[in-house]
């Protein structure tokens, strides 16, 4: 594997702070260069040794991430019929993210819907249909196979990257998959689906009264792992250049005991 | 790649709390099953929808992790001669972990020194020598090549896993590489070295007055990436079973802006 | 009021870290002197201005503190019969500490039981009786009146202060009030009770099977506010010196919305 | 002291989240009602006992608060000539907030400038002059004495309270004291000054190029303690009703070791 063939698909962790008011949230150092020995006497006492360490304080769902199956409930139930009350302040007693700790590697397929439609980015609010997914796969000459991890590119993230301002990325309307793709995804037995928007699915919702209908269908009902806020621009360029839209995708979750989600840095390897 | 061929090499993130007094430190939920709609009226109002989210508060160096080159200073300098004062409360202005975000995949080689010496675990305080590394590679019929990520197994972690009690894992003496292996590692141009102890190197230190001499040689002077607290038991059993000690190692750092270290979940793929 | 007449009754907030493994836990700076302008050009650009700010990450119950009435449940209920399930990851929907935000000032009375018994500190495990409380009040010539905030000194904290090591302060046996003082306290209509140990009540528990029987009686049943980890050494010396054991006690809670407890710095003013 | 005579002068701690995007930031429960024993067997095993505890993650300067003298630097120096580099990731080695732990009680004087000028709130950007302070004191028939803690009411906070929306409270222009009041304040030897805006002083700055000129004069040069984000509406109404603008002010800082600031809940007692 050459270095060029590896693509990291993650946003910087501190980026999430950029869509809030406080750029400094995220990491906090508790030992830094200011704590290092500085006077000759200190340097001697420490034999010249110094170091730094830091903490992180972050929502586990605030950057490139996997949702666990404990993330969404429907009528008080999680996937596999577990009671939502099993997720408490102690975390998720069932369906937590650490259960997937050695599972998130496999064949990845990029479906670059924006490129297939000849646009830089789909319009906010555009719901990607089964026909879109099939047309994209056909145009790319790639087949979606059982066990695949599907990456759906809307191009939407490029809007925020281009203006270098992430405010409202989480609240603005965005393009994404239609809830009506769920049966198609289920029939193909994909292992996971991820996108470059905030929620995989389109916003606003296609169904009045339901804020995130695809989440409800996919997570507590289908048991499908969702990946959000994936940075797909470099990978898309790479796939367009060599015409190969399938690769080894390695996206290990942090095995956070009883965690509901996990930040990740997925790698696509060709 | 079959599922069996993938080995995750990470400790659970909450484990780190287990060597402190408070098992609950680590993640904190801010929305859980108790916040879900429960009465029929609430369920109707929310269309049945509920969810959970959590935060993490953790030292970035407390579990299976990579050290960045901003982690250790010597005489007020970081690697490449940068001033230690460039690491402030804002994080590391140079040598931060996010600089490695697309670099940590490559050929991995396990050197199972404990197995080569016929013990379950090397004695605490035992300093692994160049002769040990070479004898292990020879016995395993594996060659260390330029660019490799080296995983050195001492077996020490099994002591804590067996008794299911991590207290003092960070403070107890442990086996680890001798500072005198540094020239050998440098000559072989390895990309990174990781181990199943707390600091890669042996403790207590071989050199009076220096707490972590290998850290000082490796990080600010050689610019070598160190990986600590790697869980190598399953991987070692797998390698012993099939006789193959080289594999694809994928260990993506979280791209924490200006971060000093990163928790990881490395995968070994055969 | 002279300066000498004011007594602060709080432990340092970072002290709590001292009974865990990590002295650095507690506050985290995100802007410090290392981030200040340093070169002449930087100083000019900022007009010489610089500053620092910090965060705190702490259990709200880890230092000198008030428990809210949402802190303890009995058979699934909080005080006033509210369901324990009303305390979720969102905090306490009932009985939270902010409800007391303008209430915690009034007549304070110190009952220095250790001094009355002629010891530096009561023995760990000693259960303070009603007779002890009455004998102390009589010896001190102070009357306990309705609405008083009662401060009960065991002297136990001096053990940790003297050795300057707080480890196990939370886990060791300690002297404290007997569960059988509850009716006496109730009859006197005290507003709150606080002590210099970890839990007001004695440990080990006087009643087999109940870890904290006084907590169960006092908080969900009586609705009594408990104050823990109060530093009473200076106040006790002051009261012994002037013979006045009643004073104005001002101990404002932080009005943490839906909070379960609050760190405080109580003042006794004479 | 009757209950009516005590006024709490603090904002709720979670309010700070309300001027950011995420209402849930602030406290995080790690044990709640969902973790309590619920089945009959669990209730029996725990003897009915349950409880809740929470953590707080907050900037120490985000609500009603005191600034320490380590908060602002000028030309690389803190108050008393200490080097700004003494504030590191370990906190403030000099001038930290815990040094004031038993000092913040004394005679408080409210100067209700808004009321004196006959307005509900001064206009954003209005700089309160020495003449304003003197006219207010005269109209209120109160004298400012050495050692007083001065509370200056602009009325500005009522704008956010009325609309129940705190967004931009920290960024909007606001009325506040002029930098030119500093000599007057110094001559009167006041102990501290606090206001109901975000920074005591007026914004925008009166002096081009200096963002917070009063901060620079007051903190590193005069050594004056500043209090920000004080809730003065109820106190102002109380003083207007009884004509008494002086009182006992008790505003204990949390004694955070090496802390730069502290959240507080000040009490005014008449």
User: If you average pLDDT over every residue of chain A, what do you get?
Assistant: 88
Residue C11: predicted pLDDT: 66
Does the CB of A52 have a partner CB in chain C at under 8 Å? no
DSSP string, chain D: --GGGEEE----GGGGGGGSS-TT-SEEEEE-GGGS--SHHHHHHTTTEEE-EEEEEEETTSSSEEEPTTSEEETTB-GGG-BGGGEETTEESSS-GGGGTTT-EEEEEEEEHHHHTT-SSPPTT-EE-HHHHHHHHHHHT----TTPEEEEE-SHHHHHHHHT--TTTTTS-B-EE-GGGHHHHHHTT-SEEEESSSSSB-BS-SSTT-S-HHHHIIIIII--EEEES---HHHHHHHHHH---EEEEE-PPP--TT-SEEE---EEE-
Higher pLDDT, A25 or A268: A268
Does the CB of C56 have a partner CB in chain A at under 8 Å? no
Residue C23: predicted pLDDT: 37
Cα of B9 to nearest chain A Cα, Å: 9
Q: What is the pLDDT of residues C196-218, one digit of tens each?
A: 999 999 999 999 888 899 999 99
Higher pLDDT, D165 or B219: B219
Q: Among D47, D70, D76, whose Cβ lies nearest the Cβ of C52?
A: D70
CA atoms of D203 and D207, how far apart (whole Å): 10
pLDDT tens, position by position, for chain D (270 residues)?
A: 444 577 777 766 654 433 433 333 456 676 777 777 767 787 777 777 888 888 887 788 888 999 999 999 998 899 999 999 899 887 899 999 999 999 999 999 999 999 999 999 999 999 999 999 999 999 999 999 999 999 999 999 999 889 887 777 888 999 999 999 999 999 999 999 999 999 999 999 999 888 899 999 999 999 999 999 999 999 999 999 999 999 999 999 998 888 999 999 999 999
Structure tokens at D14: 């979670």
Residue C130 has pLDDT above 90, yes or no: yes
Cα of A132 to nearest chain B Cα, Å: 28
Chain B's closest residue to A264, CA to CA, is B254
Cβ <8 Å between C32 and B85: no
Cα dihedral across residues A237, A243, A246, A250: positive or negative: negative
Does the CB of B57 have a partner CB in chain D at under 8 Å? yes
Does the CB of A103 have a partner CB in chain D at under 8 Å? no
Residue C137: predicted pLDDT: 98
Cβ <8 Å between A55 and C28: yes
Q: Among B8, B37, B74, whose Cβ lies nearest the Cβ of A102?
A: B8
| Lowest pLDDT segment from B176-185, C112-121, D24-33, D191-200 | D24-33
Cβ <8 Å between C84 and D36: yes
Structure tokens at A216: 């409800």
Higher pLDDT, B11 or A55: A55
Identify the top-confidence range among A31-40, B234-243, C21-30: B234-243
| Cβ-based contacts of B55 with chain D (< 8 Å) | 28, 57
Give C44's pLDDT tier (boundaries 50, 70, 90).
Answer: confident
Give A20's pLDDT tier (boundaries 50, 70, 90).
Answer: very low
Q: What is the pLDDT of residues B194-218, one digit of tens each?
A: 999 999 999 999 998 888 999 999 9
Cβ <8 Å between A52 and B60: no
Q: Which residue has the tokens 């903490």?
A: A55
Q: Among C22, C32, C90, whose Cβ lies nearest the Cβ of B89?
A: C32
Q: To the nearest 10°, the Cα dihedral for B180, B185, B186, B187?
A: 110
State the pairing for strand pair D176-177/C27-31: unpaired
Q: Residue B236 — left, alpha, or beta (φ > 0 → left; ψ -120 to 50 → alpha)?
A: alpha
* CA distances to A86, C142, D5, D165 from D195, in Å: 46, 40, 21, 19
Residue C29 has pLDDT above 80, yes or no: no
HEC assignment per residue over D28-42 = EEEECHHHCCCCHHH
* pTM across the whole model: 0.88
Residue C204: predicted pLDDT: 95
* CA distances to A156, B25, B167, C164, D149 from B21, in Å: 45, 9, 9, 19, 42
Percent residues over pLDDT 70 in chain C: 91
Cβ <8 Å between D32 and A85: no
Residue D28: predicted pLDDT: 67
Chain C's closest residue to B27, CA to CA, is C89
Cβ <8 Å between C29 and A33: no
Q: Among C28, C31, C89, whose Cβ lies nearest the Cβ of A89?
A: C89
Cα dihedral across residues A190, A194, A199, A200: positive or negative: negative
Cβ <8 Å between B89 and C34: yes
Cβ <8 Å between A254 and B83: no
Residue D18: predicted pLDDT: 36
What mean pLDDT is predicted for residues A151-158?
96
Residue D31: predicted pLDDT: 77
Does the CB of D166 have a partner CB in chain C at under 8 Å? no
Residue B26 has pLDDT above 90, yes or no: no
Residue B2: predicted pLDDT: 46
Give B11's pLDDT tier (boundaries 50, 70, 90).
Answer: low
Q: Residues near B171 by Cβ (< 8 Å), separated by ≥ 6?
A: none
Chain B's closest residue to A98, CA to CA, is B12
| Cβ-based contacts of C253 with chain D (< 8 Å) | 265
DSSP string, B152-213: EE-SHHHHHHHHT--TTTTTS-B-EE-GGGHHHHHHTT-SEEEESSSSSB-BS-SSTT-S-H
- The closest alpha carbon to D90, from C166, A51, C63, belongs to A51
Does the CB of C15 have a partner CB in chain D at under 8 Å? yes
Residue D15: predicted pLDDT: 43
Q: Which of C22, C24, C92 to mutate to test the interface with A (most CBs of A within 10 A)?
A: C24
Q: What is the pLDDT of residues B87-126, one digit of tens each?
A: 988 789 999 999 999 999 999 999 999 999 999 999 999 9
Does the CB of A34 have a partner CB in chain D at under 8 Å? yes
| Lowest pLDDT segment from A74-83, B166-175, B181-190, B218-227 | B166-175
Residue B21: predicted pLDDT: 33
Higher pLDDT, C13 or C90: C90
């Amino acid at each position: 594997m050459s270095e060029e063939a590896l693509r990291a698909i993650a946003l910087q962790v501190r980026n999430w702070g950029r869509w809030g008011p406080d750029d400094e949230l995220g990491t906090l150092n508790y030992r830094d260069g200011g704590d290092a020995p500085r006077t000759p006497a200190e340097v001697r006492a420490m034999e010249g040794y110094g170091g730094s360490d830091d903490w992180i304080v972050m929502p586990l769902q605030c950057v490139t991430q996997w949702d666990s199956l404990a993330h969404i409930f429907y009528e008080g139930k999680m996937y596999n019929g577990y009671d939502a009350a099993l997720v408490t302040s102690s975390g998720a007693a069932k369906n937590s993210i650490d259960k997937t700790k050695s599972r998130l590697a496999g064949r990845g397929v990029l479906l670059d819907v924006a490129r297939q439609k000849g646009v830089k980015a789909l319009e906010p609010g555009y719901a990607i249909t089964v026909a879109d997914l099939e047309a994209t796969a056909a145009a790319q000459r790639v087949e979606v196979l059982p066990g695949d991890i599907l990456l759906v590119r809307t191009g939407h993230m490029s809007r925020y990257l281009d203006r270098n301002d992430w405010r409202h990325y989480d609240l603005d309307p965005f393009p994404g998959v239609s809830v009506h793709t769920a049966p198609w995804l289920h029939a193909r037995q994909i292992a996971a689906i991820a996108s470059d928007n905030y929620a995989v699915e389109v916003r606003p919702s296609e169904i009045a009264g339901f804020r995130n209908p695809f989440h409800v269908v996919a997570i507590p009902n289908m048991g499908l792992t969702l990946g959000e806020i994936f940075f797909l621009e470099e990978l898309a360029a790479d796939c367009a250049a060599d015409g190969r839209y399938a690769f080894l995708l390695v996206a290990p979750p942090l095995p956070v005991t009883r965690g509901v989600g996990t930040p990740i840095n997925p790698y696509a390897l060709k």
